[in-house]
């Protein structure tokens, strides 16, 4: 079967996001960008399915600015077979909303006909946690979000999900969308030879217009600000002093 | 205008805290109708009817809603959506599973994790792991949103509001429930607890997490953990507090052996009183703590447990 993995180019996990002084957004110019960490987990899972002989081909797809080609090269270096870049924005500060991303992915999926889509559960920039669910709705497919384990059994996938209060296991009929949570796996690093090989793997370039999808945002961002700061309090010298302070504050 | 709010029903019981906070958040937007769906949902509906600000409760009791699968519940919400401008749920894992699906079926963009409501179409929400707060204005006819409950106070008691039965919607039958593995605990639920004690990587092992649990039990608190502690296998994932875990805002938050990574702070910085215990006096957690104690947690925490 074919597995499709959407990947997003986002601010690197280790870089602190800084709000621009004019309140127009978070500064992304000259900031290190990487693959969204949850998407790395999704790519890793797809590659493991291929290594187990369950999947025959892994296709990575990214929607955004031209520079997302680098993110796709990372997916190829990890082990994806080929990649599709859908250019939908010119400005690195323009985020394509999950609804528009889902519409483009649906069009890609109509052509590619994968049996399984593994996506990250959430992108660490807009923190929407929505693309997988929205895509599944548009396709009329089943969905298994926040996966910590995926087992393919014939025409179905058994997925263990991380939910409030514990774990839930469900069985979804294929084709299906699964979204990856943190504990699904630990993604590999691409080796240098694989990074070299990735440069020769096919990467198709398309545009949102090729699929006839309008990517204009439904949510107008009218402002971005720093969260309210919290002031440091006091250091106490002993447990007795701490207990006294907590009693004073009325919290114990 | 009117609001349809999906009540959080698990195993036939209403999560009153999450539902009530979501009601309080949105009641200024219009009359609030709460939907309780489940294999058994009538008791939950009775509870929802008593929340102040609820004008009506709809109950959909059917086996297909028993295991909180996204597809049937999303279909039910869409079948009822016609009369409402806002479709809302508390931002629990169940709602995060269901609501974006509802939004896509209505051709609307989901507005996730709303932390502030400016007016009927303008909302605030945290982005970049809480490092920025974005204000967004929705152009969609129907607004579908999830509400970050830690940002709102619970509604009081009122009512009782009238309860109406609704017919189940067609079930797409795309997925099947197999099993639930519920962590059994006598402790309060993490997101609604008045007190939380959390441990980080500094705790050092799964066995030593017992120190954290003892302090929590003495305080009648829920137990939390940093992502580092979860990734190291010291604590289960559903204890995780932070942007990728749960967002909490208790009266008292005790952070033990937690350095204070940005992603952890995003999940607990709205707590009323924060206590930090860490041997590294440079740890960033001290920059947001009301009371900081520099010391070895293995001697400080048992002493604190004894003296409280």
ipTM over 0.85: yes
Pairing of strands B195-199, B122-127: unpaired
Report the gap between the CA of A203 and the closest CA in chain B (Å).
29
In angstroms, rounded to a whole number, what is the distance separating the alpha carbons of residues A56 and A114? 10
What pLDDT does residue B237 have?
A: 83
Q: What is the CATH number of domain A2-249?
A: 3.40.50.620
Length of chain A: 252
pLDDT, one tens digit per residue, over A179-191 is 999 889 999 999 9
Q: Mean per-residue pLDDT for A90-106?
A: 96
What pLDDT does residue B100 have?
A: 98
Chain A with chain B: Cβ pairs closer than 8 A: 252
In angstroms, rounded to a whole number, what is the distance separating the alpha carbons of residues B308 and B293? 15
Omega of the bond prior to B160 within 30 degrees of 0, cis? yes
What pLDDT does residue A183 have?
A: 85
* 27-86 of A, contacting B, C-beta below 8 A: none
pLDDT, one tens digit per residue, over A200-239 is 999 999 999 999 999 999 999 999 999 887 888 999 999 9
Determine the straight-line distance between the first and last CA of chain A, rounded to whole angstroms. 58
Substitution target from A13, A121, A170 for chain B, most B beta carbons within 10 A: A170
Q: Is the dihedral of CA B92, B93, B99, B100 positive or negative?
A: positive
Who's near A23: CB < 8 A, 6+ residues apart?
A223, A224, A225
Q: Measured over all CA atoms, what is the biggest interatomic distance in chain B, rounded to whole angstroms?
A: 60
What pLDDT does residue A44 have?
A: 98
Residue appearing with tokens 């009641």: B27
In angstroms, rounded to a whole number, what is the distance separating the alpha carbons of residues A53 and B111? 39
Q: Is residue A112 very low, low, confident or very high in pLDDT (cuts 50, 70, 90)?
A: very high
Q: Do B291 and A242 touch (CB under 8 A)?
A: yes
In angstroms, rounded to a whole number, what is the distance separating the alpha carbons of residues A178 and B237? 19
Q: Is the pLDDT of residue A248 over 80?
A: yes
**Domains delineated in chain B:** 2-165 (3.40.50.620), 195-307 (3.40.50.1220)
Q: How far is CA A65 from the centre of its chain?
A: 16
Q: Is residue B95 very low, low, confident or very high in pLDDT (cuts 50, 70, 90)?
A: very high
In angstroms, rounded to a whole number, what is the distance separating the alpha carbons of residues B133 and A226? 6
- The answer to whether the beta carbons of residues A178 and A150 sit under 8 Å apart is yes
The residue ranking higher by pLDDT, B183 or B290, is: B290
DSSP 3-state of B175 = strand
Q: Is the pLDDT of residue B115 over 80?
A: yes
Phi first, then psi: give them for residue B82, nearest 5 degrees.
-50, -40
Q: Mean per-residue pLDDT for B232-248?
A: 88
Q: Is the pLDDT of residue A166 over 80?
A: yes
Report the gap between the CA of B290 and the closest CA in chain A (Å).
4
- The answer to whether the beta carbons of residues A119 and A135 sit under 8 Å apart is yes
Average pLDDT for chain A = 96
Report the gap between the CA of A201 and the closest CA in chain B (Å).
32
In angstroms, the Cα distances linking B120 to A39, B91, B148 are 34, 19, 17
Determine the straight-line distance between the first and last CA of chain B, rounded to whole angstroms. 50
Q: Confirm or reject contact between A21 and chain B (CB < 8 A).
A: no
Task: Provide the whole-model pTM.
Answer: 0.93
Question: Which percentage of chain A shows pLDDT scores above 70?
Answer: 100
Phi first, then psi: give them for residue B296, nearest 5 degrees.
-80, 120
What pLDDT does residue B41 have?
A: 97
pLDDT, one tens digit per residue, over B123-134 is 999 999 888 999
Q: Mean per-residue pLDDT for B9-21?
A: 95
What pLDDT does residue B177 have?
A: 95
A 10 A CB-CB count for A154 gives 6
| Residue B67 assigned ligand-binding role | no
Q: Is the dihedral of CA A107, A122, A4, A136 positive or negative?
A: negative
* 102-121 of A, contacting B, C-beta below 8 A: 102
pLDDT, one tens digit per residue, over B168-227 is 999 888 999 999 988 778 899 898 899 999 999 999 999 999 999 999 999 999 999 999
Q: Is the pLDDT of residue B68 over 90?
A: no
């Amino acid at each position: 079967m074919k597995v499709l993995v959407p990947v997003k180019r986002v601010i690197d996990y280790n870089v602190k996001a800084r709000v621009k002084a004019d309140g127009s957004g978070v500064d992304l110019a000259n900031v290190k960008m990487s693959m969204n960490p949850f998407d790395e987990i999704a790519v890793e899972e797809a590659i493991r399915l291929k290594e187990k002989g369950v999947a025959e081909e892994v296709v990575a797809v990214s929607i955004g600015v031209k520079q997302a080609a680098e993110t796709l090269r990372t997916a190829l270096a990890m082990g994806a077979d080929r990649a599709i870049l859908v250019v939908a924005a010119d400005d690195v500060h323009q985020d394509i909303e999950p609804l528009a991303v889902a519409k483009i992915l649906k069009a890609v999926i109509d052509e590619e006909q994968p049996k399984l889509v593994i996506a990250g559960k959430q992108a660490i920039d807009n923190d929407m946690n929505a693309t997988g669910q929205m895509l599944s709705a548009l396709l009329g497919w089943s969905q298994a979000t926040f996966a910590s384990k995926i087992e393919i059994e014939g025409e179905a996938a058994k997925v263990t999900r991380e939910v409030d209060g514990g774990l839930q296991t469900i069985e979804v009929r294929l084709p299906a969308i699964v979204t990856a949570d943190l504990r699904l796996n630990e993604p590999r690093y691409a080796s240098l030879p694989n990074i070299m090989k990735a440069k020769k793997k096919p990467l198709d370039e398309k545009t949102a217009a090729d699929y006839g999808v309008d990517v204009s945002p439904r949510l107008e961002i009218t402002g971005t600000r720093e969260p309210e700061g919290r002031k440091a309090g006091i250091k106490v010298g002993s447990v007795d002093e701490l207990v006294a302070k907590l009693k004073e504050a009325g919290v114990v | 205008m009117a609001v349809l709010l999906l009540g959080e029903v698990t195993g036939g019981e209403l999560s009153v805290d999450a539902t009530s906070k979501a009601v309080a958040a949105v009641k200024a937007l219009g009359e609030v109708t709460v939907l309780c769906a489940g294999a058994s949902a009538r008791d939950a509906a009775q509870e929802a009817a008593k929340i102040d600000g609820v004008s009506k409760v709809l109950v959909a009791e059917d086996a297909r809603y028993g295991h909180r699968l996204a597809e049937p519940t999303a279909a039910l919400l869409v079948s009822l959506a016609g009369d409402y401008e806002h479709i809302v749920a508390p931002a629990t894992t169940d709602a995060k599973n269901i609501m974006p699906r509802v939004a896509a079926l209505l051709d609307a963009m989901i507005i996730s994790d709303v932390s502030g409501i400016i007016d009927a179409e303008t909302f605030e929400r945290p982005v970049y792991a809480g490092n920025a707060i974005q204000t967004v204005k929705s152009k969609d006819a129907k607004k579908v949103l999830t509400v970050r409950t830690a940002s709102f106070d619970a509604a009081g008691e009122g009512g009782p509001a009238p309860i109406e039965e609704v017919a189940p919607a067609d079930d797409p039958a795309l997925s099947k429930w197999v099993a639930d593995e519920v962590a059994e605990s006598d402790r309060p639920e993490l997101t609604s607890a008045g007190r939380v004690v959390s441990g980080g990587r500094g705790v050092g092992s799964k066995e030593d997490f017992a120190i954290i649990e003892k302090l929590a039990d003495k305080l009648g608190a829920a137990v939390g953990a940093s992502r580092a502690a979860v990734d190291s296998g010291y604590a289960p994932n559903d204890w995780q507090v932070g942007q990728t875990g749960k967002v909490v805002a208790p009266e008292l938050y005790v952070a033990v052996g937690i350095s204070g990574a940005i992603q952890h702070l995003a999940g607990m910085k709205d707590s009323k009183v924060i206590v930090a215990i860490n041997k590294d006096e440079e740890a960033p957690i001290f920059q947001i703590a009301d009371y900081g104690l520099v010391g070895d947690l293995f001697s400080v925490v048992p002493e604190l447990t004894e003296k409280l």
